Amino acid sequence: MTEGPLSDLIVLDLTRALAGPHAAMMLGDLGARVIKVESPAGDDTRGWGPPFVGPEDAQESTYFLSANRNKESLVLDLKTDDDREVLARLVERADVLMENFRTGVLDRLGFPVERLHELNPGLVVLSITGFGHDGPEASRSGYDQIAQGEGGLMSITGVEGPTKVGVPIADLVAGMNGAYGVLAALHERSRTGRGRVVRTSLLAGMVGVHAFQGTRWTVAGEVPGLAGDHHPAIAPYGLFETGTAPIQIACGSENLWRALCAALGWDPAEERFASNKQRVANRDELIAALEARFADGPAEHWLAALAEAGVPSGKVRTLDDVYGWEQVKSQGLLLDVDHPTLGAITLPGSPIRFEDQPFSGGRSQHVAPPTLGQHDREIRDWLDL
């Protein structure tokens, strides 16, 4: 057992790819015992690459490593009676079961929700689908890029045309939504003694993050277009070229606008830019004026001047720069773990940090993602099999 706020929980992770594994990993980071049930072929992401790392006969996908820390791996062939019985024994002991099969697959394997709750009335079941468990398109499989497009996110992302986010954001958001839904159901169980089914989808996650872009349509009747590198409702708020490299500025209030003008030697009451409404209406002129001013010096000069003026600003870092940044290290966002075949590796850490811990997540010790079937014998012994 490991320490952590969820260290009394057992989670069965029947998911593969990213949305479900990410949800299970979030609970594992907080101390839950997560048993990842894999088919004999393993999670799909074990084959997603390059890059692959490690010895030629035991290579690991870095994609798999990103979503499966703090888990144990058990191989089960759920098409066989013996392994379905193993799963039934696990269900009896578990607090949470997570699955992202297509609707109806778990039923056909012999584990409809009714049977799961017969085996364990307190079980919380998380079901993640692509487009929802019901409705006219429930049978569609869920892939991140498809969901980004169908859920509208790509229509507001990009400069010259629709662009997907650089990470599988539909999967990640669905996983986060699933994890907090599970925690809500567990809290309810503490009062009722009974579990329930939590459902979410990649589509729901995409619609759920529309924020002000969503209400532009539902309330104001405006169809948002590509947002590019500038905020559609605030100016100046975006990416600006300087003499050497782009910088970002976020003037989210009139006080910040005045501070920016003071740093640049501008009149904040200049007619075209005197209010945020005017600045948004004259955005192209404002961008051109700012970039003409910023061309006079390197990015470092302007970042220092803006910081001194109290104007929120920053650079655009590459990932090697991010992971070498002392601020990232100070927040415990890098985890050093010992992998059974790769040895010592560093992983991006949990975004959750507790005040009495120097690292991310709620565990006293983090564990590397497992090799396929690494814990088969250990788990079967625990089940007396």
Q: Which of 300, 307, 310 is nearest to 259 (CA)?
A: 310
Please give the Cα distance from 139 to 131 (Å, whole number): 8
Residue 13 among the catalytic residues: no
Residue of 171, 284, 376, 381 marked active site: 171
Please give the Cα distance from 21 to 356 (Å, whole number): 27
Contact predicate 151/207, CB 8 Å: yes
Q: For 306, what's the count of Cα atoms within 13 Å in the CB-facing half-sphere?
A: 23
Residue-wise over 30-57: b if at least 16 C-beta within 10 A, else e? bbbbbbbbbbeebbbbbeeeeeeeeeee
Contact predicate 70/60, CB 8 Å: no
3-state secondary structure of 100: coil
Beta strands in the chain (DSSP E): 10-13, 33-38, 52-53, 60-61, 72-75, 96-99, 124-129, 197-201, 237-240, 247-250, 313-315, 334-339, 343-348
Sign of torsion, CA 362 364 365 370?
negative
At 42, list the tokens: 């393993």
Sign of torsion, CA 223 229 231 232?
negative
Please give the Cα distance from 344 to 272 (Å, whole number): 57
Torsion of CA 99, 100, 102, 103, to 10 degrees: 50
**Residue type for 279, please?**
R
Contact predicate 176/120, CB 8 Å: no
Active site residues: 171
